[in-house]
Amino acid sequence: MLSLDSVLCPCCRSPVEFPTQPDGTAARVTVCEWCGNALLISTSDPSSHARSEIDNDFSDGSFGAITFIVHAHGTKVCPQCARVYPKQMDCCPGLIDFALKWYTGPADKLGPNSKTRIVEFIAKHESAASLAIATLALKWKIDEVADVPIGSLKEFASKVGPWASDLLADC
């Protein structure tokens, strides 16, 4: 049975209650009586993203443990890293960050098809990738440093498409 004692609203940090269903379990949806936000419960494996999510030549992945995440209605929870993000995004921004770092990281961590699959993956998830690349570009403009070297990021962007290169035009 799911126990949701001492749950705090992620929006206003007030205590919330999830009503009990007829079978005795807690409902997975409620409304915070303090701020009025609709809240959901999702599950996540408390591991991080893995290469197998992008390249099927790898078999690394989750631990199989489950964590419950309370989040606002209109958001999603990544089942791998538990990051909460807007439901309009088609992919977890954490997975996009992982893909960019993996692409530009050590060659011994890549499979024979990994770079091609990473480019295809990023191109397929343009809405989430645009945000990640724009964030890295902003970090370069502000601090002249980011998790991905600017030269590698520009090389990568040129392979993904003009939309990605445009985001880095003034870096």
What are 127-141's pLDDT values in tens digits? 889 988 888 888 888
Cβ–Cβ under 8 Å, residues 118 and 160: no
Can you give 96-154 as a three-state secondary structure string?
A: HHHHHHHHHCCHHHCCCCHHHHHHHHHHHCHHHHHHHHHHHHHHHHHHCCCCCCHHHHH
User: Dihedral (C-alpha) 97, 147, 150, 123: value to the nearest 10 degrees?
Assistant: 0
pLDDT tens, position by position, 71-110: 888 888 888 888 888 888 889 999 999 999 999 889 999 9
For the chain, give the number of residues. 171
Is the whole-model pTM more than 0.95? no
Query: What tens digit of pLDDT does each residue of 114-169 get?
Result: 999 999 999 999 988 998 888 888 888 888 877 888 888 888 889 988 998 898 88
